[in-house]
Amino acid sequence: MISVVVPIQSEGPEIKSVLDRFCLGPAEAELLIADTGARPETLAALREIGARVLPPLGTRGAALARAALEARGKILFFLHADS
């Protein structure tokens, strides 16, 4: 399984349409959202597609480190919404 980690801060709910392709099923990929101050409607939209949203934890780096520790996949893929 691959764990896709995405830090989210100011992206709107439209990010859901970009990320929903990573929620293929429990055996293929998991989507972890490292919340760094996202809007509630954005987080709700991501939960709808099966993303696991991790609450804010200080800095962006701390949020990414926490997501890496909580990831269940053997492979970690960090995807930044602004890239």
Which tens digit of pLDDT belongs to each residue from 6-15? 898 877 767 7
Q: Where are the domains of the chain?
A: 1-52
Task: Find how far residue 59's CA is from the centre of its chain.
Answer: 15
Angle, CA 2 vertex, CA 34 and CA 62 arms, to 5°: 25
Per-residue pLDDT of the chain (83 residues), as tens digits, is 889 998 988 777 677 767 776 665 556 788 899 998 888 988 998 898 888 999 988 888 999 999 999 999 999 999 887 66
- In the chain, the amino acid numbered 12 is G
**pTM as predicted:** 0.82
Q: Residue 28 has what pLDDT?
A: 77
Helix ranges (H only) for the chain are: 15-19, 40-48, 60-70
